[in-house]
């Protein structure tokens, strides 16, 4: 790290966080210590936070009081993470419909409200208190730190972006913050050869010390670099997320840039797990969440997945007291790992790989690939009107955008129809688009709804 980078790391970043009233730096120090804690200490941390969460949820949210009462349970029945099975799963549709009933009537109240990107096909609003937000920030820095990323480093973020343009003041503040922290954001949605060449030129110009990217976007860029022989830099660690990292994609990214580190998270909980330099699964963020991998039995009951077995990801946010999420089923599938010590020396439990999050790439009118992830961004703006969605590119290249309107089929406002058409015209110009309103979009044979379905050309 150069002199300016050290200035940001040692002075500007801590100063900015303190000026904003955020205890990020102190929490980062705590996490730096607990990442080396024993399995017993980590279990004790989770147990204490879980007891606090269940007590608060029982006494201050109608939803969880009713769930415990109908089962004859009290907060005293929850002592350790192993007791979570006594609670029902919080399915996504229940989470959407129970936000008011799960909102606490006592402090701490919600300080942040976001809309999920809808990578499982059902976007929703999520709120959490300041404590949860601070832990999320600190946890992200720790996970990214395993790849070598520290505040002050030159970072190229090859990521997807929304359409909303902030007002002039907000845009000025955003650009200033990015400039001071040396964060360069490049849109990864368009993946034509021309656009990929422009991104390569930007890597050469900016000379990042770290790259943060969507998994599939990074792989497309890496394969372009290898195919064109345009690598002109040394080792640049790459942090990938948002989609599953396939092994051949990892190999391409590593060959084109440098060591590759997989992460797993969501807007509901931020960073759930991240890969260390042992590259043997992803360490769970145990101090902030409890992550379960569960398997549904034919009789409707559930059980914990065995090591090496795939199951549904179920998450409990230990610090969100404003709108508790206990045993939230996020719609993803992951592989359970043994509860043993990692080669890196950490006892933080591991999961991975994540299955079912890779979105297919569409074709534009010229046959060039376009990242299907951008439709998740589209539905950030339709969350108040649609329950779920699916995009199908047919053999003749035309698109069908299937939506399930909240008000029912045939009741999606005309303005939202136009918004979908305008969005597609921007990112996949020249393709005919049909918007289809349905009562439901059933999942596929594996129980996972495919958000982007691309039929082979005839």
Q: What are the residue boundaries of the structural domains of the chain, listed by start?
A: 14-136+266-355, 148-258, 362-454
Q: Is the pLDDT of residue 446 over 50?
A: no
Neighbours of 97 (CB within 10 A): 12
Q: Check residue 421 and report its DSSP letter.
A: H
What whole-number distance in Å separates Cα of residue 208 and Cα of residue 221? 15
pLDDT tens string 4-42: 889 999 999 999 999 999 999 999 999 999 999 999 999
Mean pLDDT rounded to a whole number for the chain: 90
Same fold yes or no, 148-258 and 362-454: no
Rounded mean pLDDT of 351-375? Answer: 76
Helix (H, G, I), strand (E, B) or coil at 45: helix
Tokens matching residue 55: 């007590």
Q: CA torsion sign, 15 to 16 to 21 to 26?
A: negative
Residue 139: strand pairing partners: none
Homologous superfamily (CATH) for 14-136+266-355: ANL, N-terminal domain (3.40.50.12780)
The pLDDT tens digits of the residues spanning 189-211 come to: 877 889 999 999 999 999 999 99
Kindly report the CATH number that applies to the domain delimited by 148-258.
3.40.50
Distance in angstroms (rounded) separating the CA atoms of residues 320 and 343: 32
Give the Cβ contact number of residue 394 at 10 Å.
15
- Could you report the per-residue pLDDT of 309-341, keeping only the tens digit for each? 989 999 999 999 999 999 999 888 899 999 999
The first and second tokens of residue 116, run together, are: 């999920």
Q: Which CATH class for the 362-454 domain? A: alpha beta
């Amino acid at each position: 790290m150069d002199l300016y980078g050290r200035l940001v790391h040692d002075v500007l970043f801590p100063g900015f966080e303190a000026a904003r009233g955020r205890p990020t730096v102190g929490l980062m120090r705590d996490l730096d210590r607990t990442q080396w804690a024993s399995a017993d200490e980590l279990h004790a941390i989770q147990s204490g936070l879980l007891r606090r969460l269940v007590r608060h949820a029982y006494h201050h949210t109608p939803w969880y009081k009713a769930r415990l009462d109908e089962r004859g349970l009290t907060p005293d029945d929850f002592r350790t993470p192993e007791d979570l099975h006594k609670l029902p799963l919080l399915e996504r549709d229940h989470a959407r419909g129970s936000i008011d009933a799960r909102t606490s009537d006592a402090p701490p109240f919600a300080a942040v409200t976001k809309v999920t990107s809808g990578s499982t096909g059902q976007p929703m609003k999520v709120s959490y208190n300041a404590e949860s937000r601070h832990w999320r920030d600190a946890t992200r820095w720790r996970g990214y730190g395993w790849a070598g990323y520290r505040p002050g480093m030159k970072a190229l973020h090859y990521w997807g972006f929304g359409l909303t343009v902030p007002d002039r003041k907000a845009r000025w503040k955003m650009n200033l913050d990015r400039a001071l922290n040396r964060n360069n954001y490049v849109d990864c949605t368009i993946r034509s050869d021309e656009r990929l060449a422009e991104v390569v030129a930007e890597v050469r110009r900016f000379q990042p010390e770290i790259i943060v990217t969507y998994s599939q976007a990074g792989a497309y860029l890496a394969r372009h670099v290898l195919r064109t022989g345009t690598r002109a830099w040394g080792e640049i660690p790459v942090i990938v997320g948002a989609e599953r990292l396939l092994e051949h994609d990892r190999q391409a990214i590593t060959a084109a840039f440098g060591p590759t580190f997989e992460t797993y998270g969501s807007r509901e909980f931020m960073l759930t797990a991240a890969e260390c330099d042992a590259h043997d699964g992803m360490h769970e963020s145990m101090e902030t969440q409890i992550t379960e991998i569960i398997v549904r039995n034919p009789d409707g009951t559930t059980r914990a997945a065995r090591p090496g077995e795939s199951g549904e990801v179920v998450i409990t946010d230990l610090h969100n007291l404003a709108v508790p999420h206990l045993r939230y089923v996020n719609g993803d599938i992951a592989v359970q790992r043994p509860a043993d010590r990692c080669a890196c020396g950490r006892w933080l439990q591991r999961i991975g790989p994540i299955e079912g999050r890779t979105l297919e790439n569409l074709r534009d009118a010229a046959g060039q690939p376009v990242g299907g992830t951008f439709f998740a961004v589209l539905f950030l703006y339709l969350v108040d009107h649609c329950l779920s969605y699916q995009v199908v590119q047919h053999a003749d290249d035309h698109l069908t955008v299937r939506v399930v309107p909240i008000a029912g089929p045939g009741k999606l406002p005309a303005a939202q129809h136009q918004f979908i058409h305008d969005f597609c015209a921007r990112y996949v110009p020249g393709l005919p688009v049909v918007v289809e309103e349905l009562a439901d979009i059933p999942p596929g044979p594996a129980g996972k709804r495919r958000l982007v379905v691309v039929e082979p050309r005839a």
